[in-house]
Chain A
Amino acid sequence: MAEKQLMQGNVAVAKGAIDAGCRYYFGYPITPQNDIPEYLSAALPAVGGVFVQAESELASINMVLGASAAGGLAMTSSSGPGISLMQEGLSYLAGSELPAVVVNITRSGPGLGGIAPTQGDYNQATKGGGHGDYRLIVLAPNSVQEMYDLAGEAFRLSYSYRNPAMILADAILGQMKEPVQLSIPVDPPGEGSWVLSGAKNRKPRLVKSLFLKDGEMTVHNLKLKEKYDQLKAKEVKVEVDCPPNCSLVLVSFGSCSRIVRTAVDRARKRGYPVGLVRPITLYPFPEAAVREAAENADRVLVVEMNTGQMVDDVKLACGNPGNVSFKGYPGGSVPTPEEIEAEIYGILEGGLQACQQ
């Protein structure tokens, strides 16, 4: 068993990447994720890897594309505005079927926004962001342990499905320290069938996303869809904790789900049978788990640190969207457990009496 360490979230995701075999990092500084490149600038060379501070996020993501085309397990990290600049490259990575991992320690936006914790990039992450008919694999940790673990999982999924993967977290998860149980590091995988290394003793290979001939693009899009269908069928990760006779199920992800967890536990102590569904993969979205939980509860409450993004996916998953309420905390306004408790009691009793007892 590997050791246990007290780690900061940003360092944990970086360490998790190295322990998963990542050897190539290209990035550009932006708050609140700078601990990631700072850590990797020393840690990667120490394991024979490569760290390059690029001139922009555009360059970063395209260096990642090149490294991935050459067979390296490669990653970058950024935040809001930088992730926006990377959308072009993410689209090309998906179109070219190259693995890559991108960590987004979000900022509140739009625009330059603020650096406080937010979940305003849910739609950008899960609904594309770049052009074309593709999906990003999106993982949402809610602890420093998961920052570490899901970094490895992101590489596994990205490499297996030859599709870029994103870890969507925020400043709470990036900055806080928690104990982390480390895994035994694994070696980078062997050479993939796409790897460009010079056409020696084999036919030349081509990494591309341009398909101009009649029908070619359709065939490619359907091939990509088949992968997304496989992801939906096999790779959904979700935490479900719903009591029997659940009157209200809360749905929340990431750092916000930690606060919701506290509120749910407190409500249960007061005798309210409330449940919690926490999507860990935001894409593929845990539709079946959300539907089942919603069907077994009277009401659904979605809590997000934005003005309402994942709630659309919850409504799509539920048989009865009219039962779905939303409470949002945008722009860096992190809720307290008490505020969420008040929401719970408000929905269940139509008032705040229980909370004020």
Chain B
Amino acid sequence: MGRVTVKEERCKGCGYCIEACSSANLYLDRDKRNKSGYSVASFKDDEQCSGCALCAEVCPDVALEVYR
């Protein structure tokens, strides 16, 4: 089982991580905006995350950290 933390101020909401996640554990939270005004990626902890870290690998903003 895995867990992803989002460094919200780094995230720009490009969505690359969401497409990379095979278990649909990441989503763009339209209600949450960081100081720069971007909607940020959020982690849905439903115990489906395998901790594969593919999301972090494709993140251009180094905004994700993955634990397993």
Question: Are A and B direct contacts in the complex by CB distance below 8 Å?
Answer: no
Binding site for B on A (CB under 8 A): none
Interface of B toward A, CB cutoff 8 Å:
none
